[in-house]
Chains A and B, each alone.
Chain A
Amino acid sequence: MSRTVRAEPGTVRAESTAKSRVLKDLRAYRFWGYAATFGALWGAVEITAGSFLHAIRLPFSGVVLAGIGAALLVSLRTLKPARGIVLTAGLVCAGIKLLSPAGAVVGPMVAIVVESVLVEIALAPVGANPVSGAAAGTLASFWAVAQKLITQTLFFGMPVIGIYKGVLLQGAGLLHLPPSGGVWVAGAFLFVVALIGAGLGVVGALVGATTRRQLAVEQP
Chain B
Amino acid sequence: MTFAWLSPVVALALLVALALLPPEWHLPLGIAGWALLRWGACDVHRTLGRPWRWLQALALLCLLGAIFGTTDAHLLSIGWSKSGALSGVTMVVRAFALVALASLVSSVLPIRRWTERVHNPVARRLIEVVVVAANLVPVQLRALSTASSTLKERRPGLRRLPMRLWLLAVHSSLQAAMLAESVAFDMAVAAHNAGGNRKERP
Contact = CB atoms under 8 A, between A and B. Distances in A.
A25 B144 CA distance: 30
Given A26-B185, A29-B184, A166-B68, A155 B134 contact: no
A3 B65 CA distance: 93
A208 B173 contact: yes
A30 B188 CA distance: 9
A95 B130 CA distance: 6
Given A22-B192, A211-B177, A92 B184 contact: no
A29 B180 CA distance: 9
A206 to B, nearest CB: 9
B181 interface: yes
Contacts of A155: 94-95, 98-99
Given A47-B141, A211-B170, 18 more contacts: A23-B188, A33-B185, A34-B184, A36-B132, A40-B133, A41-B172, A47-B137, A48-B145, A80-B180, A92-B129, A93-B133, A95-B134, A155-B98, A159-B87, A207-B173, A208-B173, A211-B174, A214-B174
A55 interface: no
Nearest to A21: B192
8 contacts: A18-B192, A22-B192, A26-B185, A29-B185, A36-B129, A40-B139, A41-B140, A41-B176
A43 interface: yes
B161 to A, nearest CB: 13
Contacts, number: 171
Given A48-B141, A75-B173, A92-B133, A37 B183 contact: yes
Contacts of A190: none
* Interchain residue pairs A-B with the least CB separation, the first 7: A166-B68, A33-B184, A95-B130, A103-B47, A40-B136, A33-B183, A44-B140
A5 to B, nearest CB: 24
A50 to B, nearest CB: 12
A107 to B, nearest CB: 9
A219 to B, nearest CB: 9
Contacts of B94: 155-157
A98 interface: yes
Interface in A161-220: 162-163, 166-167, 170, 203, 207-208, 210-211, 214-215
A213 B124 CA distance: 34
A34 B126 contact: no
A215 B131 CA distance: 27
B127 interface: yes
A103 B172 contact: no
Interface in B75-98: 87, 90-92, 94-95, 98
B65 A79 contact: no
Contacts of A48: 141, 144-145
Contact of A79 (B102, B166, B177): B177
Nearest to B67: A166
B61 interface: yes
Contacts of B106: 105-106
Interface string B5-38: 0000000000000000000000000000000000
A26 B184 contact: yes
Nearest to B68: A166
Given A47-B141, A48-B141, A98-B111, A163 B61 contact: yes
B136 A156 contact: no
B55 interface: no
A143 interface: no
A43 B137 contact: yes
Contact of B191 (A29, A72, A92): A29
